[in-house]
Amino acid sequence: MDVTALKQQLKQNAPDNVYLVIGTQGILRQQARDLFNQLIPEDEKVMNVGSYDMEVTPLATALDDAVSAPFFGERRLVLITKPYFLTGEQANHKIDHDVDGLLSYLEHPQPDTVLVLFAPYEKLDGRKKVVKRLNKVATQISAAPLSEQQARQSVLKQVNKDGYQFENGALDTLVQRTNADYELMAGSIAKLELFGFQAKQITQAGVIGLVPQSLDQNVFDLVNAVLKHDQKIAVQHYQDLIGSQEQPLKINAVLVGQFRLLIQIKVLSDHGLSQGSLAGTLKVHPYRVKLGMQTVRAFSLAVLQQAYLGLVEVEQQLKTTQREPQLLFELFMLRFGREAS
């Protein structure tokens, strides 16, 4: 079930007893949390809503709250966050969690309590008994990162609901500048709507002026200039990144990571993996894979490897010499151009 389906279910005022919200997309978890909070009237929240962070609070405390009767209200809402004991993560926390108590609770959930576990993880440890039990008992809400298409649809729906429209090309630019990250896209809507208030339109100029391009996207533009051997544009992009207070080592590390990703995409796509399979295998956002696949079509594996190794050498020199970072980058561009010609 996604957050939209959850909203429809809760509108009926007949929630299930146990929910598991799982996924790394923070904005989706927050949207789900807001929906659950609406189950309890404002004047009852102090007594009938409990929130417990498992990194600082014992599970038993939350369970004690869950088995308590609501105080002059229809139901009690108990929210459990960061339940790391559901994962394979090695616990560094000195808290003894009563997982057996949770298993017992799941056997017989309190009928007038809505228990919600917010798991900000990609996946849980399916070998654990408590996870197996949750999979059977709990209604699962996905908070996994949205695909580019899903992010576009969600943002477009919100903007239209607010009475606005996107100018031609503005949504594409928003996707590009945020790397199709739904959290960044949704977080930009309020200021874009304020900018276009009079015309009730989100414009291209507004997106360019108000939505900063991510480091990854800036580096992607730099990568394209490097691969095209356009030294003037590449150096300009590099200077812009330095001017925006990015550290040379960080810029180079992201460059190395981007070329590593391109090499992986090139090799795996040549072996027949689809865009969706690549995103899952490489554990990166599908939009980055989409851009990567568009890039690697025009270049051989050897060219990508030359660039990667050249940037690794730049990293070593940045760490071991006092040479000017921009000079090292310009020398890399010269060497890369000679090797590829």
Residue 89's domain is classified under what CATH number? 3.40.50.300
* Domain match, 240 and 324 both: yes
Largest CA distance in the chain: 79
pLDDT of residue 89: 77
pLDDT of residue 225: 92
Write out pLDDT tens, residues 258-303: 999 999 999 999 888 888 889 888 888 888 899 999 999 989 999 9
Q: Is the pTM above the cut of 0.85? A: no
Q: Which residue's entry shows tokens 């189950």? A: 39
Strands (DSSP E) found in 176-320? 201-202
C-beta atoms surrounding 70 within 10 Å: 16
* Domain match, 232 and 113 both: no
* Domain match, 159 and 122 both: no
Q: What is the tally of structural domains in the chain?
A: 3
Tell me the C-alpha distance between 307 and 225, whole Å: 12
Alpha carbon separation from 206 to 110, 189, 323 (Å, rounded): 50, 11, 40
Last residue of a domain, one of 165, 194, 210: 210
* Domain match, 196 and 111 both: no
pLDDT of residue 91: 62
Residue type, 303: V
Q: Is 51 helix (H, G, I), strand (E, B) or coil?
A: strand
Instruction: List the CATH number of the domain containing 155.
Output: 1.10.8
Last residue of a domain, one of 210, 226, 245: 210
* Domain match, 184 and 231 both: no
C-beta atoms surrounding 162 within 10 Å: 13
pLDDT of residue 90: 67
Tell me the C-alpha distance between 248 and 324, whole Å: 10
* Domain match, 137 and 191 both: no
Tell me the C-alpha distance between 105 and 100, whole Å: 9
Residue by residue, pLDDT tens for the chain (341 residues) are: 999 999 999 999 889 999 999 999 999 999 999 999 999 999 999 999 999 999 999 999 999 999 998 988 889 999 999 999 999 876 667 788 999 999 999 999 999 999 999 999 999 999 999 999 999 999 999 999 998 999 999 999 999 999 999 999 999 999 999 989 999 999 999 999 999 999 999 999 999 999 998 888 888 889 999 999 998 999 999 998 988 888 999 999 999 999 999 999 999 998 888 888 898 888 888 888 999 999 999 899 999 999 999 999 999 999 998 899 999 999 999 999 887 65
pLDDT of residue 341: 59
pLDDT of residue 94: 76
C-beta atoms surrounding 146 within 10 Å: 26
Domain span at residue 203?
A: 148-210
Instruction: List the CATH number of the domain containing 332.
Output: 1.20.272.10
Tell me the C-alpha distance between 261 and 266, whole Å: 9
* Domain match, 240 and 318 both: yes
Q: Which pair of structure tokens corresponds to residue 26?
A: 């923070």
Write phi, then psi, for 85 (nearest 5 degrees).
Answer: -70, -5
* Domain match, 69 and 104 both: yes
pLDDT of residue 73: 87
* Domain match, 118 and 20 both: yes
* Domain match, 65 and 91 both: yes
DSSP secondary structure code for residue 71 in this structure: S
Tell me the C-alpha distance between 276 and 38, whole Å: 36
Last residue of a domain, one of 142, 159, 193: 142
**Beta-bridge partner residues of 114:** 77
pLDDT of residue 14: 87
* Domain match, 29 and 43 both: yes
* Domain match, 87 and 165 both: no
